[in-house]
Amino acid sequence: MNFSIEDYYADLIDGNVLLAYKGSITTDLINNVLDTIESKLQDFNEPSKVRKKVYNVLVESLQNLFHHIDDLPEDYDEEYEPRFGILVVTKEKNRYRISTGNFIKNEKIAYLKEKIDKINDSSRNDLKDMYKFILNHQKLSDKGGGGLGLVDIARKTGNKLKYVFIPFDDKYSFFNLDVFIDEVVVNKNS
Amino acid sequence: MEPLIIEGTPKTPTVRFDADKGVIEIKGRSIPENSVEFYKPLVDWLEEYKKNPQPKTTVNIQLEYFNTSSSKCILDVFKKLEAIHKARHDVEINWYYEEDDEDMLEAGEDYESIIRIPFKMIEIVE
């Protein structure tokens, strides 16, 4: 195996880390993470606008992760717990970074890549239309996901979604998504 | 008709639906992993209320946060209200957002453009 999750994780936790986690992504974990980050944002005295944006985008990132993790088959690789995922929140100069990582079946990569590329190529107005179309026309999946998460993140941050699919073996890859929230929120109309 | 009252939690909003007064309120945070379960009783209640609504129904939506899973369920709530409005009953939606929260204002405008009921956007200034 060429790809080491340990190395990849170590690379992510560089800089001013607010929170780093690797393991099972459960509802309890999500609740803990939200509480922790909310109080840290309070400590930083960020304006409520920035605090809310980071919190909102974090909720979507975590719930996307929660809904879309592909579990490695049991006994496949004992190293990874069920619902294995990675989450790192860092404060960089003038922005926050939320990185999430999870296993994905190789056959799903093309679809996801196309979706993210389309979002990244869309203007603010296109994203608004896309959001409204999905909101009004697509049913919620059994898992409760609505296919809106990434579009919402792109709209709220105004930044491109940075992603990479790291090959793991012939069936699975590891999907890493970096989301950036600027500390100085630029007026959307300008 | 019995009112629907649900106390808020860190991840789900406070709900007060009062058929006698014709007042529908959702306040707080709506960020559960799976929102369908939470919103089903709200949608069911409105389905029942629709049969015999007040001449005027006032809807107050005051959310601090909501996730995309909730956004679809909130649209379902609005669609029930739209049906009441279509049946020639007065429905007014007050969409509250905190000062400077452009994202929440925009979310309200998104709904307003989908739902054929007049929205009133109300900024809460602290």
- Give contacts of B12 with chain A, Cβ < 8 Å: none
Low-confidence ranges of chain B (pLDDT < 70): none
CA B51 to each of CA A61, B22, B39, B81, B117: distance values in angstroms, whole numbers, following the listed order: 40, 13, 19, 12, 18
Orientation of helix B68-86 relative to helix B102-114, angle to 10°: 40
CATH at residue B71: 3.30.750
| Neighboring chain B residues of A67 at a CB cutoff of 8 Å | 33
A130: in domain: no
Residue B121 in domain:
no
Q: What is the mean pLDDT of residues A56-60?
A: 96
The residue type at A37:
I
* Residue numbers in B near A135 (CB within 8 A): 71-72, 75, 110, 114
A44 lies in a domain?
Answer: yes
CA distance A109 to A60: 20
Q: Are A41 and A51 in contact (CB under 8 A)?
A: yes
In a domain, A139, yes or no: no
Report the number of distinct structural domains present in chain A: 1
What is the residue-wise DSSP string for B89-120? Answer: -EEEEEEEEETT-HHHHHHHHHHHHHS-S-EE
Burial track A50-70 (b if 16+ CB lie within 10 A, e otherwise): bbbbbbbbbbbbbbbbbbbbb
User: Which residue in the set B65, B72, B114 is minimally distant from A146, CB to CB?
Assistant: B72
Determine the structural domain holding residue A86 and report its residue range.
Answer: 5-107+159-182
**A149 in any annotated domain:** no
Query: Per-residue pLDDT averaged across A29-46, rounded?
Result: 93
Q: Does residue A15 form part of some domain? A: yes
d(CA A39, CA A46): 11
Query: What CATH number is associated with residue A51?
Result: 3.30.565
What digits encode the pLDDT tens for the residues A62-103?
A: 999 998 888 877 666 677 888 999 999 999 989 999 999 999
List pLDDT tens digits, range B89-123: 999 999 999 988 999 999 999 999 999 898 999 99
Q: Which residue of B has its CA nearest to A53?
A: B103
Closest residue, chain B, to A51 (C-alpha): B101
Q: Which residues contact B63 (CB under 8 A, 6 or more apart)?
A: B13, B26, B27, B28, B29, B30, B96, B104
Tokens of B45: 């209640």
Quote ipTM for the complex.
Answer: 0.93
- Please report the pLDDT score of residue A4 as a whole number: 76
- Residue A189 pLDDT greater than 50, yes or no: no
Q: How far is CA B34 from the centre of its chain?
A: 18
Domain assignment of residue B84, yes or no: yes
One-letter amino acid identity for B33? E
Task: Say if the Cβ atoms of A140 and B68 lie within 8 Å.
Answer: no
Q: Where do the DSSP E strands lie in chain A? A: 16-24, 84-92, 95-105, 162-167, 172-182
